[in-house]
Amino acid sequence: MLLAREARPFFRNRATMTPTINTTRLLPELRHLATLTDCPPSPDPNTTAVTRILFTPRDLEARAYIASLAEAAGFQTRTDAIGNTFIRFPGLDPTLPAIGTGSHTDAIPHAGMYDGTVGVLGGLEAMRSLKESGFQPRRSIELLVFTSEEPTRFGIGCIGSRLLGGVLSPQIADNLPNLLEPETPGAPFMTASSSWVGSQDTSTTEVRTLRDVRTAAGFTAPLTTVPLPPNYYAAWVELHIEQGPLLERAMQPSTEPSLGAALKGTGFTPSITPPKADGALAPEGTILGIVTNIAAPASYRYEITGLGGHAGALLMPDRRDALTAAAELILSVERHTLAANAASGTSDSVATIGTATIHPGAVNSVPSRVTLMLDIRDTDTTRRNQTMQALRADIQEIQTRRGITITERQINADAPATSDPHIVHTLETICTTNNIPYQKMVSRAYHDTSFIAPIAPVAMIFIPCRNGVSHRPDEYATPEAITLGTRVLALTLAQLANK
């Protein structure tokens, strides 16, 4: 291994350059970031519950923390009008398109401490390790910390990357309603949650749209300045936890009877490593994921309007209960998604009703209005659209039979993203050369990379996470997996930067 003192420039030293990932620096940084949370301390000392919603004080503290680490490492930082933060390791030829990496630090209510943050702090560590090894990139390497990958505050995810990639109009973005504002339809899902302790947030008065919220947070320039010019990035690679079980399952003994069944229909090739005798998540058995495609997400808001009334006096035959109609809609979503999987012989279709608000929300009052949010994803856009068509047919039938109205509003319907074959090949070669087992795989979660894909060649590196758990306080990735993923990221950035 090259120590910083003995390092020479990478272009003279391509074969032997080994960036030293400083795990004892990286892990405490991850843990510190997790303390910037609006969740009360977890009763379980083994879990860390993180709630960090866009432009709340905790989110701003997290941004300031990352910027302070970047500046301490000697990198230049800048922030755009939506709050995306760019941290740059300048190349020998700064006029060339840069190599990008990055992820997000915002977290949904009661999330874990690794989603997004591994890509941000891992990306920073990759850049620091390259710099400390004496590596001088030809192209600049840039870490991007995206604003609002999570949809919690404005109902749509990846706001920062959508704007950068030209996938969201600045005007529509600025007018997105603030769901933390109590008067905003749909807001109660945040404020009514007993687990949401909130921040001293300015949103209680007149902070109704994204424009208001970002201005209050100090980001005042027009959003028209955010989209990146063509060829800004020559290549883009995001490091992320898998958020699913496939890598970890591939690390278990392949003799386990459930393995084949678990992987059946996932399009996933079982482990390329010899099975470990104890089946444990052992560092030497860590398998990385190289993402070839990111599934296409879409989300919709349903407003179901019936007739309310007294829970005792309104007779059953006279009811037009919005909640029982909503229940039928929810079950219809599940039925059609399962049918899509059965028809395709895959597990690639997923759909979730993740929020529901009931009006007036009293135990002795028949619900007159229900608002639902649907999140539906598929690796195949046509199949996703077919599932939606089947759902809409059911909705027609439910409306007629129950005498209620159901309106649908599309929040987003995105295309799947495909990784660049050359970057995938670079990642595979780096893994093979360094004896690191990997699997090519689909990302079923969406990522900011989906919205950088329209403007740059992209790929992603996944590390396994325990039991595939994510968006939960018990989300966990081993130090070994984090270090390995960061190392592969560093090597990849170095190689791409010198192309």
The contact set with Mn ion (CB under 5 A) reads 115-116
Chain positions 430 to 449 lying near ligand GLV, rule: CB under 6 A, are: 445-446
The answer to whether residue 174 forms part of the interface with ligand GLV (CB under 6 A) is no
Angle at 65 between CA 59 and CA 68, to 5 degrees: 145
CB of 296 to ligand GLV, least distance (A): 11
The answer to whether residue 268 forms part of the interface with ligand GLV (CB under 6 A) is no
Q: Which of 51, 55, 74, 72 is nearest to 63 (CA)?
A: 55
CB of 240 to Mn ion, least distance (A): 6
CB of 109 to Mn ion, least distance (A): 11
Q: Which of the choices Mn ion, ligand GLV, none does residue 170 contact, using the CB cut-off of 5 to 8 A by kind?
A: none
The answer to whether residue 300 forms part of the interface with ligand GLV (CB under 6 A) is no
Our CB check for ligand GLV shows the closer of 80 and 150 to be 150
3-state secondary structure of 236: strand
Total residues at interface with ligand GLV (CB under 6 A): 4
Angle of helix 479-497 versus helix 117-132 axis, rounded to 10: 60
Q: Which of the choices Mn ion, ligand GLV, none does residue 142 contact, using the CB cut-off of 5 to 8 A by kind?
A: none
Our CB check for ligand GLV shows the closer of 152 and 492 to be 152
Angle at 112 between CA 370 and CA 46, to 5 degrees: 125
Our CB check for ligand GLV shows the closer of 298 and 430 to be 298
CB of 157 to Mn ion, least distance (A): 8
Our CB check for ligand GLV shows the closer of 445 and 497 to be 445
Residues paired with 418 in a beta bridge:
293
Q: Which of the choices Mn ion, ligand GLV, none does residue 134 contact, using the CB cut-off of 5 to 8 A by kind?
A: none
End-to-end CA distance of the chain: 23
DSSP symbols for 285-349? G--EEEEEEEPEEEEEEEEEE-B-EETTTS-GGG-B-HHHHHHHHHHHHHHHHHHHHHHHTSS--
Number of other CB atoms surrounding residue 37 within 10 Å? 23
Our CB check for ligand GLV shows the closer of 150 and 238 to be 150
Contact 197, 40 (CB under 8 A): yes
The answer to whether residue 476 forms part of the interface with ligand GLV (CB under 6 A) is no
Helices (H) and strands (E) in the chain, counts: 14, 17
The answer to whether residue 150 forms part of the interface with ligand GLV (CB under 6 A) is yes
CB of 450 to Mn ion, least distance (A): 11
- Indicate left, alpha or beta for 361 from its phi (over 0: left) and psi (-120 to 50: alpha): left
CB of 428 to ligand GLV, least distance (A): 25
CB of 398 to Mn ion, least distance (A): 31
Q: CA-to-CA distance for 270 and 266, rounded, in angstroms? A: 10
Residues that bind ligand GLV in the complex, under the rule CB under 6 A: 150, 157, 445-446
